[in-house]
Structure 1
Amino acid sequence: MIEFRTLANGHPDLAHSPLLRAALLTMQYAQKHGTIGLTKTKSFKRAFVHWAVEHFDWPGKSAEEMFRYNKVINEYEFPPLEVLHYMLISLRLGRHFKGEFQLTKQGAHLGEDAGRLFAKLIPYFLFQIDHASYARLDERPFGEWDIWMNVINVEADHGTTEAALFETFYGEPEDWHTVGWRDMAAFSSCVFRPLEWAGLLTETRDDGVGKHVCHVFKTPLWRSALKLDTDDMLRPISVQ
């Protein structure tokens, strides 16, 4: 079983969630300006997309990096915004009206309460969104969230690697240099990346010569926001 605790507005651990931060910024922008302009295909207009790229401070997608090769960026080229836009509409926190995006009453209310917004947004993102779709993948990993998260809860409690976790679930010691790299990519895109976007995991990468190792750690938000069946299996963190 996976249970999300509702954290108080202003809880410091909420700052670990890139997706929550992006949602709050988008909702605050919509509140300040009244609406956000839409294209004919009902995507956010480029002016807002550029603002989002500059302000979201998205892991691995800095504004400098994104604008280095593309001076014009559309919504579909910035997946975090594309996914967030879809969720705000699906959860009825925002709506399209006369060629504009505007917040609903519920959206305006939750935009002022980060803890309740996290509890609304993140479970929907993790468990209802097709993560392979925005990752532009055909493959999806075999498994389900209840098992993935309860195992990661234990295995990553003191840090682990992406390859080690993959082997724990699937019994094959694959990495990015083996024929199983496609399976690793699907697992990374559909499990690790969503948990990182949610702010529950953080990753560091070693990219040396002939080496690509991804280290995985639980964030403080994982510990404060989640209640899992395997919590009683965790070892205390020793303080030196």
Structure 2
Amino acid sequence: MIPFQPLHDEAPALRLSPLLTATLKTFDYIVTNGPIGLTPSKALKRYFVDWAAEAFDWSHYGTDYLYGLNKVLNEADFMPLAILHDVWLGARLVRHYKGKLCLTKAGQALRQQPATLWAVLANYYLCDLDQTPYTRFGDRLQGNWSVFLNLLNIEAQTGITDSGFASLVTGMPEMDHQIRSLIYVHVLRPLAWAGLLIEHRSGRERLFTKSPLWADALKLETDAFLQPVTQH
């Protein structure tokens, strides 16, 4: 578990978390419209996937992109929703009951406590969720969050690419696609989706900088070595 700093429910930086924003929208949907239907394989039904793709407006997974690849959307076609579904279930915020996705008592309570809900979601996604199903080769990453976070605390102050971070972690100056992808899926993407990093894309290159939520939620050993960011 990552010891996040306590946050206020009204903290503006919480709005930067796609993980939290999409969860609150989904929980509100369930309260307003009732439990969400599941397919026989226990995936979320297409009507909700369509709604979520529009409502979440997830960066790099917009409706133009998604429908450009698929005529109809299944849960597996909308990766953020598929991962969120796993996080909600694993954190026991929802459950499957009689072919539908329902809020648990914990999910209902935390819907009114966004700061606590964010910490639950982020910790489960970062520390407990098995990321190997989302990698092409089912690889596992060796390392720990203390090392990753303290490295990024320095390097993402001004910005670091996914390949640059992979080189730092592995000590290898040249990085093949498999290792770069492994570190992205296990470390960088979860931090960005939690709202702690901001992902900027240019072609195939990804640049990561710290979001305001990073400073609010994390207190790290390397904080003493940070240099102010020059504003131009």
Paired residue for 1:74? 74
Distance 1:93 1:71 in 2: 31
Distance 2:89 2:2 in 1: 25
Paired residue for 2:211? 219
User: Would the alpha carbon gap of residues 71 and 110 (structure 1) be closer, same or farther in structure 2, given more than 3 Å must change?
Assistant: same
What one-letter code is carried by the residue in structure 2 that aligns with 1:202? I
Consecutive unaligned residues in structure 1, runs of 5 or more? none
Distance 2:5 2:56 in 1: 25
Paired residue for 1:31? 31
Paired residue for 2:200? 204
Is 1:235 paired with 2:227?
yes
Question: Larger deviation: 136-145 or 106-115?
Answer: 136-145
What one-letter code is carried by the residue in structure 2 that aligns with 1:205? R
What one-letter code is carried by the residue in structure 2 that aligns with 1:232? A
What one-letter code is carried by the residue in structure 1 that aligns with 2:35? T
Paired residue for 2:188? 192
User: Would the alpha carbon gap of residues 113 and 2 (structure 1) be closer, same or farther in structure 2, given more than 3 Å must change?
Assistant: closer
C-alpha RMSD of the superposition: 1.8
Superposed CA deviations along residues 46-93 of structure 1, whole A, max 9, x for unmatched, are 100111111111111101111123121111221211121122222221
What one-letter code is carried by the residue in structure 1 that aligns with 2:195? G
2:131–2:186: 8 Å Cα contact kept in structure 1? yes
Distance 2:171 2:79 in 1: 31
User: Would the alpha carbon gap of residues 137 and 58 (structure 1) be closer, same or farther in structure 2, given more than 3 Å must change?
Assistant: farther
Aligned positions of 1:83-102 closer than 5 A: 83-102=83-102
Aligned-residue offset at 1:238: 4.4
Aligned positions of 1:74-223 closer than 5 A: 74-175=74-175, 180-207=176-203, 212-223=204-215
Tell me, what secondary structure is at the counterpart of 2:44?
Answer: coil
Percent identity, please. Answer: 41
Distance 2:170 2:92 in 1: 38
Tell me, what secondary structure is at the counterpart of 1:227?
Answer: coil
Provide the aligned length of Structure 1 versus Structure 2.
232
Aligned-residue offset at 1:36: 0.8
Consecutive unaligned residues in structure 2, runs of 5 or more? none
Q: TM-score, normalised by structure 2?
A: 0.92
Distance 1:90 1:168 in 2: 31
User: Would the alpha carbon gap of residues 52 and 135 (structure 1) be closer, same or farther in structure 2, given more than 3 Å must change?
Assistant: farther
User: Would the alpha carbon gap of residues 231 and 51 (structure 1) be closer, same or farther in structure 2, given more than 3 Å must change?
Assistant: same
1:141–1:183: 8 Å Cα contact kept in structure 2? no
Distance 1:155 1:48 in 2: 39
Aligned-residue offset at 1:123: 0.9
Question: Larger deviation: 120-129 or 84-93?
Answer: 84-93
Aligned-residue offset at 1:148: 0.8
